[in-house]
Amino acid sequence: MIVVAIDGPSGVGKSTVGRALAASLGVPYLDTGAMYRAVGLLARRKGLPLPLTGADEVGELAERTEILVTGSGGDVKTFLDGEDVSAEIREPEISRYASAVAAIPRVRRRLAARQREMALAGGGVLEGRDIGTRVVPEATAKFFLTARPEVRARRRYEELVRKGTPQELASVRAEMEARDAADSSRADSPLSCDDTYVVVDTSDLDAERVVERLLQAVLGSRTG
Ligand code: DC
C-alpha cells in the first residue's frame, strides 16, 4: 500500500501536485485542508466571531457533523452532512476560519483520526500541514513543498483572478503570511518538517516537473 504525505504552507502547489501524483499512482487523493475548511464554515454559520471564541462548541459541531471529501483529479467535492459546500469553503473568509478552527485540539483529533482511517483503508496521497508528522508518520514517502513568499502570493492571486474574485496582490500576501504564521505557531500539530521529509522548492518549477520528481522519489522508496 502506498501512502504519500505532502505538507507545506499555502500556495506551494500542494493540491495541483497532489492530485496529479495520486492519478499517476492510481491511489485516492485527500485534501485534508478541505475538512478544516468545512469545520470553519460550520463555525461561521454558527455566527461565531474572529478571532474565534467557542472552541468547545466548534469541537462538538465537528464531532457530530459528517464531513466528506470525495473524488480526485479535477472533481474533488466536500460535503457537510450531505450538502455540497465545495465552492463555499474556498471563500477567503473561510480560509481564516479554517486556520482558527485548526488550532482547536478537539477538532484536530477528530479530523486526523478520520484522515488516518482513510489513508490506511486504501492508501492515498494526503495533502495538509501535519500529514507526515501526525496523521501518517509511517507514510511511504513524505514531501515538504516550499516556495518563495512572493511566488506563493502570486499563485494565490492568479487563482483568485481566474475564479473571478480578484484581490489586491499585497493583501493576498499579507493574509497568506498571517495564516502561515498562525498554522506554524499553534501548539497542537503545527506546520513543521523534520529529516524524514524530502523538501522540494517549487518556486522555479512547473507542476509537471514537481510531480515527476515526487513520482520518482515514491517509486524509488518502494523498490529501494
Ligand atoms: O490547505 P488549506 O489552505 O485548504 O487549509 C486550510 C487551513 O486548514 C490551513 O490554514 C491550515 C489548516 N490545516 C491544518 O491545520 N492541517 C491540515 N492537515 C490541513 C489544513
> Does 224 have pLDDT greater than 60?
no
More confident residue, 118 or 159: 118
Helices (H) and strands (E) in the chain, counts: 8, 8
CA–CA distance, 79 with 20 (Å, rounded to integer): 22
User: 57 pLDDT exceeds 80?
Assistant: yes
pLDDT, the chain, mean: 95
Question: Roughly what angle, to the nearest 10 degrees, separates helices 169-185 and 92-101?
Answer: 10
pLDDT, position 212: 98
Report yes or no on whether pTM surpasses 0.85.
yes
Which residue of 16, 129, 152 sits with most ligand 1 atoms within 8 Å of its CB, as the best mutation to test the pocket?
129
pLDDT of residue 223: 66
Q: Comparing C-alpha atoms, which of 32, 16, 39, 31 is closest to residue 85?
A: 39
Residues 6+ apart with CB under 8 A from 212: none
For residue range 62-118, list pLDDT tens digits in order: 999 999 999 877 789 999 999 999 999 999 899 999 999 999 999 999 999 999 999
DSSP state of 89: G
* Burial (0-12, 13-18, 19+ Cβ within 10 Å), 47: exposed
Residues 6+ apart with CB under 8 A from 188: 103, 104, 105, 108
Ligand 1 atom nearest to CA at 112: 18
Q: Structural domain boundaries of the chain? A: 3-223
All cell numbers assigned to 55: 472552541
- Using CB atoms within 10 A of its CB, is residue 223 exposed (0-12), middle (13-18) or buried (19+)? exposed
89 lines ligand 1 (CB under 6 A): no
Under CATH, which architecture does the 3-223 domain have?
3-Layer(aba) Sandwich (3.40)
pLDDT recorded at residue 74: 74
pLDDT band for 165, please (50, 70, 90 cuts).
confident
| pLDDT score recorded for residue 73 | 72
pLDDT tens-digit series, residues 6-22: 999 999 999 999 999 99
99, 109, 136, 192: which to mutate for ligand 1, most atoms within 8 A of CB? 99
